Amino acid sequence: MAASPTIAWAFMSDQRTVTPCRNAFMGVFLFPPARCRLPETTRGTGRPSPRSATKGGFVAAHADEPIRLAVGELARFLGADVDDPAFLADPHRCLTPGIREKSVHRLPGGALAVLGYTACAEVLRDTRFGHGASELYETTLLGLPARSFLQLDAPGHTRLRGQVARHFTARRVRALAENVGYYSTALVREHAGRPGDFVADFAEPLAMSVISDVLGVPPEDRPAFHHDARLVVRGLDQPARAMDEQAVAQARFRFVRFFRRRAQARRQAGTRHRAPRDGLLDALSHRPDGSPADIRELVTTCSLLLSAGYDTTVSLLSHAVAELGGAPSGQGWALARDPQTVGAVVEEVLRLHSPVQIAPRAAVRDAALDGLPVARGTIVLPLLPAANRDPDIFDSPHIFRPRRYLTPAAQGRSTARHLAFGAGAHFCLGAALARLTAHSALAVLAACPPRPRDAPRTYSEGVVVRGLRSLPVTWPHRPTGRPPHPPADGAAAYAEPSCPIPHAQRSVT
């Protein structure tokens, strides 16, 4: 299907009206013409139909639809209702019977659902399972490439990931700790002494501020950027009924325009004017040899980093507070308060409440998995939460028990590394940043922990990323002592941390 001239013109101009259509997978956004269609698959194989192949043009909306359908098939196979609020609140328990029966299930549509820890780890690490044989993600954004490096195999994945990886070194990640502490303290002071929602009051603004630091969003652009970015990220993985389609479509357009203009401004300024405090967006505007980067790859990569970093961080922080606040006699927060054990708390939350639910792959050549033949092109769906609750690997897998990660490996099997960040060549680049954000935020929260209220909690209805959408809490009274100050000039590795943050900019004066 050729790209619509109207849509192509909209990308090159500042046209503000776009036709909304449903989203694609993480980091890949879609503004197709009205004639967009769903991807076709060869009936009964789980493989893409030859007719779904593209030649650089637009393809289906709902590029995640094969995943959504496969998850629905799996849930029905296990006797669960994906629309049941009880399932949304705790979908993982219904997977345990399936794991005990067998690690890999062939679904009616032909796709493979992988539930067992060992089989999931094999799919994530084995080069026989990749992305090159499937059209699962062939969706473009106003003419942009259909895939970010998350959905590429070598050599494209190696090249693009390498360009980003050098900006996630241990030194750069550690340099953000002061920023996270500042933001966290400011947010706690902002909401002190009143009832609120932890997700909206703390987790979302903190996650957005940190990713804005990483990308290097200027202070004057952050209010509008945060507004649009929230809509864009929510639109990635939510059912159509839960979203204002027109608002999301307009936000996507402004979002891409921001990245495009920022990159063009950096190119015009040239590398000789690059400041040492520039963010990732500015750094990626040029390739290592100094030549201008492909603006399409730049936008897609930055979009991926935002979508991957935001929702996963919100989910991690929210579930951590829910679990710590529910522990008897404050025992949970005691663990979070101790620098020697807070790391175990973070790892256990990641294991028990894996933010990313599915890491889709396709067989790039004929293979076998847990004794089942896997034909080239077959969609394979490793379910990370199921793997992280595999009773053959983790003792009492449904229980929040951080001390399992304090036990030497020689003394028990339950210290296996969880798969919340994936494994192999596609292991999450932002894992260290997510852990640092959680460590620093929990250190602040542990000093004056919010108390979960006896009120309904809501969960996202997405397929790829799962998390709390609301967590009613009562914030403690304002902490004593001096209010926080922005980190000293030059402390951050990416960008000025002293710009306003949502809801908290007036609380630190």
DSSP for 55-97 reads SSS---S-TTHHHHHHHHHHHHHTT--TT-HHHHH--SGGGHH
Q: Tell me, what DSSP letter sits at residue 409? A: G
| CATH number for the domain harbouring residue 259 | 1.10.630.10
Beta strands per DSSP E along 412-460 = 451-452, 458-459
Q: Digits of tens for pLDDT over the chain (509 positions)? A: 333 222 222 222 333 333 333 333 332 332 222 222 323 344 444 444 433 333 332 223 334 556 566 666 766 766 767 667 777 777 777 776 667 778 898 888 888 989 999 999 999 999 898 875 444 444 444 333 344 444 544 545 555 655 666 667 777 788 888 899 999 999 999 999 999 999 999 999 999 999 888 888 888 889 998 988 888 877 666 554 555 778 888 888 888 888 888 877 776 766 544 444 457 777 777 666 667 767 777 777 777 778 778 888 999 999 999 999 987 766 889 999 999 999 999 999 999 999 988 888 888 889 999 999 999 988 898 999 999 999 999 989 999 999 898 866 444 544 688 999 988 877 787 888 899 999 999 999 999 899 999 888 988 876 678 889 999 999 998 665 555 566 543 333 333 333 344 443 333 32
Can you tell me the distance from the alpha carbon of 260 to that of 40, in angstroms, rounded to the nearest whole number? Answer: 32
pLDDT tens digits, 14-26: 333 333 333 333 3
- Residue 498 domain-assigned? no
Q: How many CA atoms lie within 13 A of 339 on its CB side?
A: 1
Torsion of Cα atoms, 499 then 319 then 116 then 375, to 10°: -40
Can you tell me the distance from the alpha carbon of 415 to that of 401, in angstroms, rounded to the nearest whole number? Answer: 11
- Residue 41 domain-assigned? yes
| Res 133: pLDDT | 40
- Residue 503 domain-assigned? no
Other Cβ atoms less than 10 A from the Cβ of 208: the count is 26
Report helix, strand or coil for 196: strand
Starting at the earlier edge strand, list the strands of the sheet with 112-114.
104-106, 112-114, 379-382, 361-363, 129-130
Buried b (16+ CB within 10 A) or exposed e, 77-99: ebebebeeeebbeebbebbbebb
Can you tell me the distance from the alpha carbon of 345 to that of 159, in angstroms, rounded to the nearest whole number? Answer: 34
Domain range spanning residue 240?
A: 5-149+159-474
Beta strands per DSSP E along 115-260 = 129-130, 195-197
Count: domains in the chain: 1
- Residue 505 domain-assigned? no
- Residue 490 domain-assigned? no
**183, 453 in Cβ contact below 8 A?**
no
- Residue 482 domain-assigned? no
**149, 164 in Cβ contact below 8 A?**
yes
Cα radius of gyration (the chain)? 22
Can you tell me the distance from the alpha carbon of 323 to that of 452, in angstroms, rounded to the nearest whole number? Answer: 10
Element spanning 113, H or E: strand 112-114
Phi, psi of 358 (to 5 degrees): -135, 140
- Residue 460 domain-assigned? yes
Task: Report the predicted TM-score, pTM, of the whole model to 2 decimal places.
Answer: 0.77
CA 303 to chain centre: 11
Q: Where are the alpha helices (DSSP H) in 270-294?
A: 280-283
460: Cβ–Cβ under 8 A, 6 or more apart, which residues?
88, 237, 238, 311, 466, 467, 468, 469
- Residue 493 domain-assigned? no
Phi, psi of 268 (to 5 degrees): -65, -35
Nearest to 422 by CA among 464, 382, 395: 382
